[in-house]
Amino acid sequence: MRWPAPAKLNLFLHITAQREDGFHLLQTVFVLIDFADQLGFCITDTPLIELDYQLAGVSKEQDIIYRAARALQQKTGTLQGARITLEKNLPMGGGLGGGSSDAATTLLVLNHLWGCGLDLPDLAAIGLTLGADVPVFIYGQNAWAEGVGEQLIPVDIPKTWYLVLIPEINVSTEQIFSDPQLIRDCPPITIRDFLAGQGQNVCEPIVAARSPEVVAALKALADSGAKARMTGTGACVFAAFDTETEARQIWSTLSARWNGFIAQGLDHSPVHEMLKSV
């Protein structure tokens, strides 16, 4: 059985403050989309965690899927293990939350298959130790997020189609958040403000100044008449459309030059529905 780890988009991203420990406080809206990595889990009766794949430049101990599985073992004391496969469809360093979503799917599925019995808040707490974006994938709902990204309020997002372009670069979140030009004192806004059209991605000009590929991708979407935005700390950029037909019309003019995909927004992560049937 293959388990999806869906991507996310940030519909806006503000940084409102920086804590003394260096972490940034933010406001954002996460929307899940139906473009995903795919994971497989074979449960074993020894505590060994085996990875049947290798990500370039990432050791087993650094791999967030491995770290998620080990964190769940340490939290619950289970003596079971797993052999894990990964079909990596989401780009690394793209701002789509691929690693965080992989970790969340790992926690959700192994919690179920190992019979650990942890609830979603427990899993989200483990996930937060792995990355600030992991909790939203644990809960599996579109959300307004504050804090470091772990304070989540579910929001309803109209069914939307997204065209996502993937520039051929890998953006380091750490480098973007450490840039001295990054705006760190955005006035807080409300959900109502966002729904009225307020909000931007304050990381976008920082990434654009470093990455002409991102500038070109934003321009390609804008020149097609779409409202172009960057997700997270990049590098992926996207535009939203009411219908699949509109998205495909624009994509047909860009696909010869750009890597990318079309995806539909989700109301809930498919992982939760799949767990109900296992």
Q: Are residues 78 and 203 in the same domain?
A: no
pLDDT per residue as tens digits for the range 224-275:
999 999 999 999 999 999 999 999 999 999 999 999 999 999 999 999 999 9
Choose the final residue of a domain: 139, 155, 171. Answer: 155
pLDDT per residue as tens digits for the range 72-129:
999 999 999 999 999 999 999 999 999 999 999 999 999 999 999 999 999 999 999 9
Residue 242 annotated among the catalytic residues of the structure: no
The pLDDT of 154-162, averaged and rounded, is 96
Q: Report if residue 271 sits inside a domain.
A: no
The pLDDT of 169-185, averaged and rounded, is 95
CATH number where 226 lies: 3.30.70.890
Q: Which is the catalytic residue, given 37, 63, 102, 133? A: 133
Q: Report if residue 137 sits inside a domain.
A: yes
**Residue 219 lies in domain:** 161-264
Choose the final residue of a domain: 155, 172, 201. Answer: 155
User: Residue 278: its pLDDT value, please?
Assistant: 87
Q: Is the pLDDT of residue 176 over 90?
A: yes
Q: Which is the catalytic residue, given 8, 37, 63, 102? A: 8
Number of domains making up the chain: 2
Choose the final residue of a domain: 124, 155, 186. Answer: 155
Beta-sheet pairing, 237-241 with 229-230:
antiparallel
Three-state secondary structure string covering the chain: CEEEEEEEEEEEEEEEEECCCCCEEEEEEEEEEEEEEEEEEEEECCCCEEECCCCCCCCCCCCHHHHHHHHHHHHHCCCCEEEEEEECCCCCCCCCCHHHHHHHHHHHHHHHHCCCCCCHHHHHHHHHHHCCCHHHHHHCECEEEECCCCEEEECCCCCCEEEEECCCCCCCHHHHHCCCCCCCCCCCCCHHHHHCCCCCECCHHHHHHHCHHHHHHHHHHHHCCCCCEECCCCCCEEEEECCHHHHHHHHHHHCCCCCEEEEEECCECHHHHHHHCC
Q: Are residues 174 and 217 in the same domain?
A: yes
Decide if 94 contacts 235 (C-beta within 8 A). Answer: yes
CATH number where 114 lies: 3.30.230.10
Q: Report if residue 258 sits inside a domain.
A: yes
Q: Are residues 133 and 101 in the same domain?
A: yes
Q: Is the peptide bond before 235 cis (omega within 30 degrees of 0)?
A: yes
Residue 45 annotated among the catalytic residues of the structure: no
Q: Report if residue 92 sits inside a domain.
A: yes
pTM more than 0.95: yes
Q: Are residues 38 and 62 in the same domain?
A: yes
CA distances, 249 to each of 35, 198, 244, 246 (Å): 19, 27, 9, 5
CA distances, 181 to each of 10, 79, 135, 174, 203 (Å): 21, 48, 28, 14, 10
Q: Report if residue 202 sits inside a domain.
A: yes
Q: Are residues 170 and 242 in the same domain?
A: yes
Decide if 61 contacts 34 (C-beta within 8 A). Answer: no
Q: Are residues 19 and 127 in the same domain?
A: yes
Q: Are residues 13 and 122 in the same domain?
A: yes
Q: Are residues 76 and 36 in the same domain?
A: yes
Q: How far apart are CA 139 and CA 155, in angstroms?
A: 12
Q: Report if residue 64 sits inside a domain.
A: yes
Q: Are residues 202 and 140 in the same domain?
A: no
User: Residue 114: its pLDDT value, please?
Assistant: 99
Q: How far apart are CA 30 and CA 154, in angstroms?
A: 9
Q: Report if residue 273 sits inside a domain.
A: no
Chain mean pLDDT for the chain: 97
Q: Are residues 94 and 168 in the same domain?
A: no
Q: Are residues 140 and 166 in the same domain?
A: no
Sheet arrangement for strand 161-165: 229-230, 237-241, 161-165, 260-264
Q: Report if residue 225 sits inside a domain.
A: yes
Q: Are residues 239 and 128 in the same domain?
A: no
